[in-house]
Structure 1
């Protein structure tokens, strides 16, 4: 009985004005992307890269949160990109594109590299913006259930 009550309470909270987990992730992604653009505009390319990458992670979280298939799994990978792969074929492509930036991000964060090429940052910001737009506009066919897939 406790499960029924808690499921009902969660549904009521969402309908009562609380955003869904997916929407919270999308909002965070948009804010991080805006911060990344501001950092890039101020010449802080290392910070811009980090925030654009995090925007991609939040968008991946939104896709995973919206996936009925992934939510049914008992054991999930710890990597956001590995979880995104479980959503579908299109998501696998997005995960692979973002994984390509993981090493650069890690080297900057650890101090191995001190600078990053501006074009790398702009490419990642563009990738994050396209991924976010796809997730926000519903042109994403989560688990093959949607009818708006492009």
Structure 2
């Protein structure tokens, strides 16, 4: 079977192709279906990051979550959004301590990522919903990179 999309019979690859995955997320099955997968890398960080950068990243995630929910109130369930916002607050509070606890920061960030998992599937939606979901996933990736740089992994 040709792997070149320009080949005449390239679209005749039927069935589910599963390469080391758990079959979760968006899937396209059947004839003439198309599945688009987008990987959103975190933006590059400067050599030095500060707690001020962390505060900015926390605010960006909050704003992007609000924008996504304004686009579609059901995009992230209320309970998940509340959990994410509470955990974002805890990350910020912990980072402001005289002696921040890296494990606590990473744990709360994990809660944020878990709570916002539903948004990742929306990056392949259409229109404003995809734009808002992609912005949230991107800002969340930047936050994770800053936490990693400040507090290690």
Q: TM-score, normalised by structure 2?
A: 0.30
Q: Which has the higher helix share?
A: 1
* Structure with bigger RCO (C-alpha 8 Å, 6+ apart): 2
* Larger CA Rg, structure 1 vs 2: 2
Q: TM-score, normalised by structure 1?
A: 0.30
